[in-house]
A and B are shown apart, each in its own frame.
Chain A
Amino acid sequence: MDTFKLLQTLTETAAPSGREQQIAQVITELWEPYVDSLSIDRVGSLIAVKNGRAPAPRPRLLLAAHMDEIGLMVRQVVEHAGNGFLRVTNVGGVDIRQIYAQLVTVHGRKDLHGVMASLPPHMLPDERSDKPFGYEDLVIDLGLSMAEVQANVSVGDFVSFRQPLRKLQGKRVSGKALDNRASVAAVTVCLEYLQGRAHDWDVVAVATVQEETRLLGAYTSAFAQRPSAAVAIDVTFGKGPGANDENAFELGGGPTIDIGPNVHPGMYQALQDAADALEMSVNTATHARYSGTDAFGLQIAREGIPTGLVGIPLRYMHTMVESVDMKDVERTGRLLGELIVRLDAKFIDTITAAMMEADKS
């Protein structure tokens, strides 16, 4: 599988939180050759199951990678001299400083190309010229008359950013929605890795919805699937000029494995062991209280699910030039695959017992 093409297909598909149908279709086609069943659940998450070889009922590992991305939504259609413009609000954690002058697609009656428009610095008063625009200063210009806009767009229509994936130097790529399609790509690599390798556990690969707004797919899929254990895969902060050294990681330095309250120490260790078995370079990441990922929701579903968290270092998060190293994506896929191959019937009992021992010490 060509990782660039994989990432290109995944990132260039539009899927703001709440409108994931299109990306779900793309992922369905990617995963279909590798899994035994595919379905869409009540809130839109894509659930793919690859059966293990142990006798049923088998333990199941849930892999959660969210497929939604940040975007915008039309909140008002406004007129200026016969032309129609759109005022928007954010869907998820949009960085207001960088949406001016972006290319967008408005998902109206049909997909319409537009630009995020405002006034050039020449036309702004001095005190405004070096400040970022707010939502009240920005409109989408579709190049259409008010009548044409009204015929094609309504309040509540989703808007996605439009940006092709570009190759930087080496194995680096840059584009939109690498948060979190890089992880969806990694799960795809994992499923490919498992072809021809025996594994006892069932693998439930879930492309979750609405992570950017409320971790919706993580909570609901973990409840419905009731896995024995789970791993969330998401991007983490890449090192670069100005980034703090403590919780930012080199692009190309391998995936991160999280330790912190949202993960089970046994899952952390199992992921470390899998990395050791592959002689793969990985880094430990830490979070206090809230990891900001699907792991937060997975962990407390049902009676509690031992959860791990794997990260792919990414620079410029929530911008249209998010950048990752494709080696990290591939490594993350292999790391997950190796974890799965190594899971046995005693795994849950073992990590639970280890917790009890730690308590005694």
Chain B
Amino acid sequence: MNELIKKLVEAYGPSGFEDGMRDLIRPEIEAYADEISVDALGNLIAVKKGSGGGLKVMIAAHMDEIGVMVTHITQDGFLRFTNIGGVLPHNLMGSRVQFANGVIGVISSDRLEDRSKIHPLTKFFIDVGASSPDDCPVGVGDAAGFIRPFLAQGKRLTAKAMDDRIGCVVAIETLKRLKTTPHDVYFAFTVQEEVGVRGAMTAANHLDPDVGIALDVTLTGDVPEARPMAISLGQGAAIKVKDSGMIAHAGLVRLMKQRAEAAQISYQLEVLDGGSTDARSMQIANGGTAAGCISIPCRYVHSQSETVDADDVESCIKLLVEILANPINL
């Protein structure tokens, strides 16, 4: 599975520029899906038909990642940029980014007078080796993603864009392993999650599922001076009860817990204070969806060293397979 993870996390795909991600994911799922389609916003949707008597279930994992977009090129050929999604300035110094055309740039900032402070985003720039706007190989409006090689050390997997390519991996693996299901399952690889859970919104409005389950990363409370949170790496799949954008459907949370316990899958209950997922959009779509989320615990979210645990990833896949292979009574 590490091969698939490496392929997805190292790929380019800032929000709004997910074409390449679709091309990578499609061949992985083609043999297992009954139908595959792409909607107007670019969501990639794979359908696995149920054997009957089940519900319509939407699974959402977002393909996009945070990144940057060029706003201005200086006379000296440096690029000023804005954020795509939740880019944290303190993670930027010395970063490398890559544009869709392959051009690589390094990020630095205006001189820092006071080293105890961090510059705002507007004081950072990208250096692609150009000396003027004329010889600059990228232009205003071009988007770049961070680059950082995938690292596997024992059970710990580190990469940029683990948020949420690891969710895509959970979706792909689930689709592969799900032999039969009573439900019509729509695996949506969504776009533009990082800029306001937008792809999942249109996909859910269109698909009108009974149940929506997002697959995304969540924060942990197991690092020095972390904000107290009862989630640790390696302790199992996280079943979301609440985040700052939604309260999960109580019946769906109960069902997830029951399935995990019955199949002896390790799990933790998640109450997250900051952030939300595609489940937020699915919940409020149309007449409402019973929405929840299986989260992959992840340290250092929105940095280029997002770290997850392979056992947790496996637990998430097993849990989702158990949920989908069995009847869903909410």
Contacts and interface: CB of A to CB of B under 8 A. Distances in A.
A219 B271 CA distance: 24
A143 B250 CA distance: 27
A73 to B, nearest CB: 6
B210 interface: yes
What band does the interface of chain B fall in when counting residues whose beta carbon is under 8 Å from A?
Answer: 20 to 34
B230 A75 contact: yes
B249 interface: yes
A89 B271 contact: yes
B305 interface: no
Interface stretch (B98-106, B171-179, B240-248): B240-248
Contact of B271 (A75, A213, A220): A75
Nearest to A68: B247
Considering residues B269, B270, B284, which has the most beta carbons from chain A within 10 angstroms of its beta carbon?
A: B284
B268 to A, nearest CB: 8
Contacts of B289: 42-43
Contacts of A154: 269
Contact of A43 (B229, B269, B283): B283
Contact of A223 (B229, B241, B270, B287): B287
Nearest to B245: A214
A353 interface: no
Given A77-B230, A91-B242, A220-B286, A43 B271 contact: no
A42 B211 CA distance: 9
A119 B275 CA distance: 31
Q: Which of B210, B228, B239, B289 has the most CB of A within 10 A?
A: B228
Nearest to B249: A43
B284 A156 contact: no
Contacts of A156: 239, 241-242, 253, 269-271
Interface residues of A, number: 30
A91 B246 CA distance: 10
B288 A224 contact: yes
A235 interface: no
A155 B273 contact: no
B290 A213 contact: no
Interface of A is mostly: mixed
A154 B245 CA distance: 21
A136 B249 CA distance: 27
Nearest to B268: A155
A19 interface: yes
A17 interface: yes
Interface in B203-251: 210, 221, 228-230, 239, 241-242, 245-250
Interface string B290-318: 10000000000000000000000000000
A3 interface: no
Contacts of B271: 73-75, 89, 155-156
Contacts of A77: 230
Given A156-B271, A219-B284, A76 B290 contact: no
Given A73-B242, A87-B228, A224 B283 contact: no
A272 B253 CA distance: 45
B219 to A, nearest CB: 12
B288 A76 contact: no
Interface in B261-293: 268-271, 273, 280, 283-284, 286-290
Question: Which residue among B221, B242, B247, B271 has the maximum number of chain A CB atoms within 10 Å of its CB?
Answer: B247
A42 B245 CA distance: 18
Given A155-B241, A156-B269, A42 B290 contact: yes
Interface string A85-100: 0010101000000000
Interface in A189-217: 210, 213-214, 216-217
A79 interface: no
Contacts of B241: 73, 155-156
23 contacts: A18-B247, A18-B250, A42-B288, A42-B289, A43-B249, A43-B289, A74-B271, A75-B229, A76-B230, A77-B230, A87-B228, A89-B273, A91-B247, A155-B241, A155-B269, A156-B241, A156-B242, A156-B269, A213-B247, A214-B246, A223-B286, A223-B287, A224-B287
Interface of B: 210, 221, 228-230, 239, 241-242, 245-250, 253, 268-271, 273, 280, 283-284, 286-290
- Nearest 6 interchain pairs by C-beta: A156-B241, A224-B287, A220-B288, A18-B247, A43-B288, A155-B269
Given A18-B250, A75-B271, A223-B287, 8 more contacts: A18-B248, A75-B228, A75-B230, A76-B228, A87-B228, A91-B247, A156-B242, A216-B283
